[in-house]
Structure 1
Amino acid sequence: MRVPWMRLARAQWAPLAALAVLMLVSALLAVAVPARTADGYDRAAEAAIGPTADIRVDGKAQGAAAATAVPGEAGLLSNAVSWQSMLPESLSEVAGEPEPSVTTERLSVAGKFSPPRLLYLGWDTGAWKRIRLVSGAPARNMPGASSGDVQVMVSKRYADQLGYKAGDRIDLGAVQVLITGLYAPKDAADPFWAPRARLLHPVKESIGQGAGAIDGDAGTALIDASGYARVARTTDTAFTFSWRFPIRGDALDAGDAGVLAADLDAFRSAVQGRGDLFPCKVVSALDDRLTEFAGRLHTAESVLGLALGGLAAVAAGVLLLAAGLLGERLRPVLGTMRARGASLRQLAGPACGLTALAAVPSAALGYGAGLLLDAGPPQPSSGYAIAVLLVAVLGVSALMVLRERGGLGSVLTRRDDLVAARPSRRRGVLDVLLVALAVIGVVLLRRRGQDAGTDPLIAAVPVLTGAALGVLVLRVYPYLLRVAGPFLRRRSGAVAFLGIARASRQNLVGALPLVVLLLAATVAGFAATVDTALRDGQVRASWAEIGADARIEAGPLDDAGLRRIRAVPGVSGAVRVRVIDEASVGTDPAPMTVVGVDLGAYRKLAPDVPDIPDSGVLMSPLAATTIGSNTVTLGRAGMDPVRVKPSGQITHFPGQGDGTAFVIVPYKTVAGATGFPSQVFVTGDGLSAEKLRAAAPGHDVKMREDMLRDMSRLPLVSVVHETFQSGAVIGGTYGLLAVVLVLVVGARARGRTIAHLRALGLSRRQSRGLALVEIAPVLLCAVGAGWVLGLFLPDITGPVVDLRPYTGGFAAAAHVPGAPALLGLAGALLLAAAAAVAVDRLFDTDPGNVLRTGE
């Protein structure tokens, strides 16, 4: 049987165009969203390791042993090649070229200086290539020389700050050096100089330990290979040999974090096992940073997997809805062909052919457009997702063909209104199976907790719970319409009754927007709730860490100093806390910190700081192991003994490190202990750190806003925020597209019905109201149920939605979304209502042009 393809396509242009556009957008998003997320992960990995990340192989040798092991530049470079060849493949891919260097032990400059001066002698082959001579001559020592001064070069900034010039001699005890020239870096912003600050300017370094420690000015003077060899041969100076491998952050993928950490341990073992050189070890903070990043990445993948899984389900639901509406439009044609003797295989041509004509080219075009966007590295999952969507859409067309086994009679006689139709046993089994899968998924997720990761079943929990709620709503939805019908029939106006009656005449395909809208609202509600919880958790952490809008780490502070702080513009309150270190009880010398504070005043000043009681003598857990619950006396030199009776424990107090021993006592008990440091907690609007520092000169000021900003800039935090925001927007857009799709595809049939009603006296204004009433039941039931489910999903998936890696360890509990999310929900509902009115106006027809004589 020949099928007029072009005529059929023209007749069904609206659902075909809708299916093509939706497939195009879905394919584009299937490529762009995972690629953008992966790119965000990679950028977060690069930021997590930092611009100065490196792997160093360090070893120490002294005097003649150093000269024997590394006699010159050839020996230094050959060892660099050896270390590089020992790097595991994953590390060699991200490590830059080796940067070998040799540095003497710290040498004291003879003379009376305040502060003391320290100098290192450094032979760094890379530094020589990155400097330019400013004055004097390069340091060139004669090979084999054993007398005279060792020629060195220092940076001009070092010389200017400490008063040196070319030609000056420096006495280092065993070594006498001559400054032959001053240099400056060719590019001071070069990352090469970040770990070599002493080569560019003086650096403060501590001399001594404990209370007697003082700071000295330390620098590094450049020497050449001959200078190194001479110092090694003629003195007993100790040298540190370092082969540094900078990490190229742009070559690091987020997925490599776990592999790199494991291979770094293997590299450490290999370096320690080398026996032909002095003992060396690997020094790097890379594995700690990668381990911390891996924990945050695991959390991000788990949380975003839930959101992206729901988003994919919404996109699939809209596409299936479009394919189903196309099948409904083709049903009379297929029924007529079946009545004229066409086989099911012949029906598959127009049904599946038209669907493929709209979907396949659009999917290919969307895939190509997604690649052209270059949102990030393409992900294999994108191709699989598009293929699954195509198979699902074509599968709907195949099901539409199988439904026509009964011929045209089944189309004309079977009534499948949503209210009148009785659910089949098959549908009942599928509904029960779906609810069971949702329950199993939730149970498994809660049992596995944070170990759930990106397991497909676990990631599908929001989809399964949303679909399960959708089928339950579909079960209840017809009864709600049945109850509303008789009630509205008794009212004077006809619009509400007619609207409910038309909503009741929809079949199951026409009610599918309810499930799609429910899923979209669930995704939007979940994303908005978790995003709000993350922000609130970070705010909570900032209050707990800083303790107020600002905290001043002050030295001994008198009442006049406190008055100056309170007089700073914007300050609305200030509470002084006295901090006495190195206190102890008489029966145990273990040191602890006594914190004197008026808890009542502090709670009034900063009520948002969590877990701070109003009064009492409180101990940290570590202090409790020493003090116990008995009355004890705390004291130290310069402090009158304080006798206290502990009343409870406290795990954290602002300004005191977690895991430290401290005791909180009333401020009046230590008010007379002068000469000890103080902390001042300050609240107010528009506080200025500069003005607070001016009021308390020489003291450190920590601002809560700065900490909150730093937390929001942590690696992966921006990725999570952006993904949740875009997920909520995309989910809401798909929901609106589903509404518009149903309205446009059914506009012609609805126009004919409205024409009959217009002939019976329905006004244009009532027609607009009828459009709103028709769509209102689906919108209110779907969006309401989905939004409520989205609000509870963080609690349902609680073990997985653990945002503490992004909130400084403080729990981020689920909250009701903020005002922007609620306004967005209201705006989406208004847009859906506006779309209904717009489609009614667009397809408004004159009854005289639609109705035939006799109708």
Structure 2
Amino acid sequence: SVAFLGTARAGRAAVAAPLVVVVLAIGTAAFCAVVAAGIDASRERAAAQIVPADAVIRGERFAPDTMDELGRLPGVRAVTRVLYEDDERLASDEVGTDAFIGQTDVLLVDGSGLDKVARDSQVDLSIPAALRTAAPGPGPLPAIVSPAVAADLAKAKLDDSAFISVQGQRYEFRVAGTADGFPMLAANASRFVILPWQALPTRTTTPVPTSLLIAGDPLDAEALRVAGDQGQERYQRDGTVTGRERMIGVTVDTRAEVRRDLGEGGANGVLAFGFVAGAVGGTVLGLLAIAFTVLAGARARGQVLSRLRTLGLSRRQWRGLLLVELTPLVAVSVLTGALVGAVLPLLLNPVLGLSAFTSGVPVRVAFEPSLVAAVLALGAVALGFAVAVEALNNRRLRLGEVLRLGEES
């Protein structure tokens, strides 16, 4: 009888306005939660893009033994080298004949070393196999290039053999794959060539790193800075070309500091507050709307329940009847609001311009599995809240008097 009566009353429910408010409130909360989660995940990727390790030392040029010196510091587990040069021109032969393709950034990475540092730093970094497994041998180097460079090389019929200069030495490479971006490059970089350092052929002079990636915990930033400055001084003193002017001091950045800087200050703080306020406020407003839904039908429900109590309905059965009656209304409104709030970010993401808050890294708004658990928990809380509101209201109305006095109660 309890299930039948509760289902029948739910089917005759005519309270619509408060449920619309529930849908809007829960939709707002879900929208804010999904967008905030997408921005947070994108900031993590942005930090890993800038520092794909626990720390990075950036300078002009480091002596080859700087990696060994860093490896002996406390807490350091792995070190790898990176070389970056911008605005290099591509050539069609070893002599240096200009290919008339345009200027391109060059990045040299030790594929296996970068993969180890990323794993030791717990950075989710996918190194292309062409860079990770490359080894010295005859023929051009396998290179990962940007789509724009790949298109230009294919148009000039140089995708199987082209040349690029790195610190005064020209290397032949072939297109082994394309990528829209890569760590240590700017998020908006559209023209780049990435070469595997470990596969470079032997030349009279060897490239020297301009950045060093370190994996370790804990790391002393000041000790890293001192070791980097000493490495630059040794290169300037003992390198192939010695200089008289003192090199600019190195900069040390940790991924944790970069991540914190991306989320703090200015509009970022306002954005975070707005999303938190929207999620919390939407949830609270949704619960209030459910309370109003319950109160809107409290009088008629009180009369029915008082008669059923007279016929022998227990308090436990009354709560069960109330749950059966309210579950369809609460479930439909909460699920509809959550669905609307989860779908809207996917539709509006291209026009929201959220990449301004993630250092240029595109924000990927995706379905959050935790949203399902949050919706189920919110539905349970909403039902419990509705039952509590009904119980308080019935105590105020006094069910026995409702039965005796009817509408005048």
Aligned with 2:330: secondary structure? helix
SS at match of 1:812: coil
Structure 1 residues 546 and 730, CA gap change in structure 2 (3 angstroms): same
- 1:521 equivalent among 10, 22, 26: 26
- The code of the aligned residue for 1:614 comes to A
Q: Which amino acid aligns with 1:558?
A: P
Counterpart pick for 2:11 among 498, 504, 507: 504
Partner residue in 2 for 1:813: 364
Matched, 1:556 2:88: no
Equivalent residue, structure 2, for 1:642? 171
Deviations 1:819-846 (A, max 9, x none): 5x66664554343222222234321477
Code of the residue aligned with 1:839 in structure 2: it is V
Q: What amino acid maps onto 2:309 in structure 1?
A: R
Residue identity matched to 1:618:
I
Task: Provide closer, same or farther for how the CA distance between residues 692 and 665 of structure 1 changes in structure 2, counting only shifts above 3 A.
Answer: same
Pick from 190, 197, 204 the counterpart of residue 667 of structure 1. Answer: 197
Indicate if the aligned counterparts of 1:548 and 1:609 stay in contact, CA closer than 8 A: no
SS of residue paired to 1:506: coil
Contact 1:767 1:840 in 2 (8 A): no
Task: Tell me by how many angstroms 1:691 deviates.
Answer: 3.9
Q: Is 1:576 equivalent to 2:106 in the alignment?
A: no
Change in 2 beyond 3 A, CA 1:818/1:680? farther
Could you tell me how far 1:798 is from its partner in structure 2? 3.7
User: Post-superposition shift, 1:583?
Assistant: 8.1
CA distance in 1, matches of 2:322, 2:223: 62
SS of residue matched to 2:335: helix
Q: 1:638 to 1:537 in 2, by over 3 A?
A: closer
- Residue 596 (structure 1) aligned with residue 133 (structure 2): no
Indicate how the Cα distance of structure 1 residues 638 and 787 shifts in structure 2: closer, same or farther if over 3 A, else same. Answer: closer
User: SS at 1:799's partner residue?
Assistant: helix
Q: Highest CA radius of gyration, 1 or 2? A: 1
Contact kept in structure 2, 1:714 and 1:806, CA below 8 Å:
no
| Partner residue, 2:234 | none
Aligned to 1:424: none
Q: Which residue pairs with 1:619 in the alignment?
A: 145
Q: Give the Å deviation of 1:794.
A: 1.5
1:768-783 equivalent positions in 2, closer than 5 A: 768-783=319-334
- Compared with structure 1, are the counterparts of its residues 783 and 570 closer, same or farther at alpha carbon in structure 2 (3 Å cutoff)? farther
Alignment RMSD: 3.5
1:833 aligns with 2:380: no
Other-structure match for 2:292: 741
Cα drift, residue 566 of structure 1 = 3.8
- C-alpha distance in 2 between matches for 1:542 and 1:496: 54
Per-residue CA shift, 1:102-148, capped at 9, x if unaligned? Answer: xxxxxxxxxxxxxxxxxxxxxxxxxxxxxxxxxxxxxxxxxxxxxxx
Residues in 1 aligned to 2:167 and 2:20: alpha-carbon distance in whole angstroms: 73
Is the contact made by 2:54 and 2:256 (CA closer than 8 Å) also made in structure 1?
yes
Distance 1:525 1:622, change over 3 A: closer
Higher relative contact order (CA 8 A, sep 6+): 2
Amino acid at match of 1:498: L
CA distance in 2, matches of 1:572, 1:774: 61
Using the size of structure 2 for normalisation, the TM-score is: 0.73
Say if 2:167 and 2:207, in contact at 8 Å, map to a contact too.
Answer: no
Secondary structure at 1:716's aligned position in 2? helix
Deviation per CA, 1:254-294: give whole Å up to 9, x if none.
xxxxxxxxxxxxxxxxxxxxxxxxxxxxxxxxxxxxxxxxx
Find 2:159's aligned residue among 607, 620, 629. Answer: 629
CA distance in structure 2 between the aligned counterparts of 1:794 and 1:563, rounded to whole angstroms: 48
CA, structure 1 residues 832+656, in 2 after alignment: closer, same or farther (shift >3 Å)? closer
Please say if residues 580 and 676 of structure 1, whose CA atoms lie closer than 8 Å, have aligned partners that are also in contact.
no
Distance 2:128 2:194 in 1: 11
Q: 1:786 aligns with which of 320, 327, 337?
A: 337
1:801 alignment partner, one of 352, 365, 382: 352
Aligned CA distance change for structure 1 residues 752 and 685 (closer, same or farther; 3 Å): farther
- Specify every segment of 5 or more residues in structure 1 that has no aligned partner in the other structure, as ranges: 1-493
Q: Which runs of structure 2 are paired with 1:76-95 in the superposition (5 Å)? A: none
- Structure 2 unaligned runs (5+)? 131-141, 231-249
Q: How far did residue 504 of structure 1 move?
A: 1.9
Q: Which amino acid aligns with 1:770?
A: L
Tell me how many residue pairs correspond in the alignment: 355
Query: 2:183 matched to 1:654?
Result: yes
Native 8 Å contact 1:578 1:670 kept in 2: no
Select the residue among 245, 251, 254 that pairs with 1:703: 254
For residues 648 and 706 of structure 1, the distance between their equivalents in structure 2, rounded to whole angstroms, comes to 32
1:88-237 → structure 2 map (5 Å cutoff): none
2:340 and 2:194 map into 1 onto residues whose CA distance is: 44
The match for 1:244 is: none
Q: CA deviation at 1:780?
A: 0.8
Show the 5 A alignment for 1:417-456.
none
- How much does 1:752 deviate? 2.3
